[in-house]
Structure 1
Amino acid sequence: MLQFHPLPAVGAGAAERAIEADQTNLSVIVDERLVVKWLTPPVPLPQPAPEFFAHLTAVGFTETARPYAALTSRGADGTGTLVALVTAYLPEATDGFDWCVTEAANGRTAFAADLGRLAADLHLALATPSPTFPEPVRNGDPEGRWGTRAATALAEALELTGGADGEWLARLAERLRGLVEPLGRAGRTPLIRVHGDLHVGQTLRWRDGYAVIDFDGNPTVREQDPYQPAARDVAQLATSLEHVAQVAIKRRGADPAASVAWAARARAALLTAYRARLAEAGKAWLLEESLLAPFEIEQECRELIYAARHLPRWRYAPMGVLRARFGGTPATGDTA
């Protein structure tokens, strides 16, 4: 077991209840004090979450559910696996795709500045040296990996998206290729250990504020590079606000034009607060602005891949974002 903070005392007969959520793993709340996230199945070590927990603890980052421990096992052949993660339970916590959709349906954007500051605080913490990440900032992508990865994601999204959505996307393909092409020239952009899957669903709003969670990486990316531009996280968080607008349209009956306008205002507030926080800390250079737009397009491609491979009913969200951006009308009959 890897321990990051002392575990609170919990009695043998402590109450337990599972978190009712659509998730791959099983999370159990113990004594209204702990959350034990059981990996189903356990995953081979090394994994990013224990490293993040150790680093964030060392640098004093507290805007997350306090990490207590990572439970590991080792087989007869010496290989290790991550079995579970133990973190603090955050009272009255709600998932971002619940609380943020409510904000969208009601046209409120005040929260967005808080999310921008939260993302900046996380990146500032990840750019601070610790025994776990002694050299947390690196430079450059001389091999053009980000461009290759984005082009591959676009090709996969085109291949997997069928029906009227696929036909519309195919007509847009050349334009999208041009938009992601700058990623191949990222040059000496500063790299840090990014969250890797930073969207509103990874931000809890709880009794005492906001918390970023789930440092397990992006489920649509194979062989992720641990060090990436901060712009990747920022782009994903910003586009997730556009997904929230699409959810509000579909599930809450929100007005489409008003929801798209809401997303634009929320994005602007988030980015303004993020930039201001970095500048206040003297690290505005962490964000390479020119990479935001290309990473946003790549992210929509990854959302389409995720929908095709794991959750078909989700396709309406990235397609809604792309159609809103590029002047398309919603397809009918080929999305759930």
Structure 2
Amino acid sequence: MTSLLVGALSRGEDVPGGYAVQRFHPLPAVRDDAAERGFDVDQTNRSVVVDERVVVKWLTPPLPLPQPAPEVYAHLSAVGFTETARPYAALSARSPGGAPALVALVTAYLPDAKDGWEWCVDEAAAGRTAFAADLGRLAADLHAAMATPSPALPEPVRTARPDGAWRTRAEGALREALELTGGEDGTWLAGHADALGREIEPLARVGATPLIRIHGDLHVGQTLRWRDGYAVIDFDGNPTVAETDLFQPAARDLAQLGTSLEHVAQVAVRRRGTAPGPAARWASSSRGVLFSAYRERLDARGMRALLDDALLAPFEIEQECRELIYAAGHLPRWRYAPMGVLRARFPGAEGSPAAEPGAGGRPSAEETR
């Protein structure tokens, strides 16, 4: 039982199953027979809530180490970042082949938490944009924390010139999206491949820019609204990117978060009956609020140099290509969202369901059914 494991962790004992434990913060006291229940939010892994205070996310299957989350949790804990579900422990074990693997992550349970694909769609349907300032500050606080030295990351900021690597990565995403997207959407995409390539091309001229450990998959679905505010979760990286450098520009996170607001607008049109015009205006306004609040927060922290604004637009195009890749490999019905964004950015395309206001990010659990 998961409660037995959590009870042992809370007492500082060896846990059942012989797992190796990396601890970040002490757990609250939990009995071995504490109540537990499923937590139907994660689409990939299995999460269990114990005693309404602790969440154990069982990775299915376990992931070969190293993985980004344990190191990021250690770093954020060391620098005092609190705008996340408080991390308690990471559990690892030997796989059948003998290699170490991450088995579970143990964090605090956030009462009354709502996934961003729920609460943010509510905001879009109601036409409210004030929340975007909170998201901008949250993202800036996260990046400022990532740029603060700790024992886990003693040199958290690097300055590097990409030497064409980011352009190559983005062009690869575009090629893959073209290969995987069929039908009318595929025809439209092929017809606009040159224009999309031109949007990516500025990445070839990027100079030296700061690099930090970013979230790597920062969209509204990774931001919870809970009883005491907002929290960013799931530091597992982008599921459509393999073997990438863990240090990236802050603009990559911000670009994905911004495009996810466009995706929210798309969901509001399709699932809430929001009119396309107001949804498009909401997306534009909320993005503006998000970016302004993010820059102002970095300014206040003396870290404005972390954001290279010239990277935002090319990274947004790359992200939409990655959304198409995600749709092709995991959730075909999600294709309407990135196609909506791309069609909206290139006016003059023929109207279709995909031409609704664009809405990075992943759909809610409801959207997957």
Q: TM-score, normalising length from structure 2?
A: 0.88
The residue type equivalent to 2:251 in the other structure is A
The reply to whether residue 64 of structure 1 matches residue 84 of structure 2 is yes
Distance (whole Å) between structure 2 residues aligned to residue 252 and residue 123 of structure 1: 33
Aligned pairs for 1:160-179 within 5 A: 160-179=180-199
Distance (whole Å) between structure 2 residues aligned to residue 76 and residue 42 of structure 1: 11
The residue type equivalent to 1:331 in the other structure is S
The reply to whether residue 249 of structure 1 matches residue 278 of structure 2 is no
Distance (whole Å) between structure 1 residues aligned to residue 151 and residue 42 of structure 2: 35
SS of residue in 2 equivalent to 1:71: strand
In structure 2, the partner of 1:331 is: 352
In structure 2, the partner of 1:74 is: 94
In structure 2, the partner of 1:224 is: 244
Aligned pairs for 1:232-311 within 5 A: 232-311=252-331
The reply to whether residue 315 of structure 1 matches residue 335 of structure 2 is yes
SS of residue in 2 equivalent to 1:257: helix
Partners of 1:320 and 1:330 within 8 A in 2: no
Partners of 1:153 and 1:302 within 8 A in 2: yes
In structure 2, the partner of 1:113 is: 133
Q: 1:77: how far off?
A: 6.7
Q: Displaced runs of 4+ in structure 1, greater than 4 A?
A: 75-78
Distance (whole Å) between structure 1 residues aligned to residue 76 and residue 206 of structure 2: 27
**What is the root-mean-square deviation of aligned Cα atoms in Å?**
1.7
Q: Please, which runs of 5 or more residues in structure 2 have no aligned partner?
A: 1-20, 355-366
In structure 1, the partner of 2:201 is: 181
Aligned pairs for 1:136-215 within 5 A: 136-215=156-235
Show CA shifts across 1:148-187 (max 9, x none).
0000000111111111111111111101001011112222
Task: Give 1:17's match in structure 2, choosing from 33, 37, 41.
Answer: 37
Cα 1:112–1:76, aligned 2, differ >3 Å: closer, same or farther? Answer: closer
Q: Please, which runs of 5 or more residues in structure 1 have no aligned partner?
A: none
The reply to whether residue 97 of structure 1 matches residue 117 of structure 2 is yes
Q: 1:53: how far off?
A: 0.3
Partners of 2:114 and 2:224 within 8 A in 1: yes
Q: TM-score, normalising length from structure 1?
A: 0.97
Distance (whole Å) between structure 2 residues aligned to residue 304 and residue 155 of structure 1: 11
The residue type equivalent to 1:277 in the other structure is R
The residue type equivalent to 1:120 in the other structure is A
Q: Number of matched residues?
A: 336
Once the two structures are aligned, what percentage of the paired residues are identical?
Answer: 70
Bigger drift between 75-84 and 240-249 goes to: 75-84
Q: 1:144: how far off?
A: 1.6
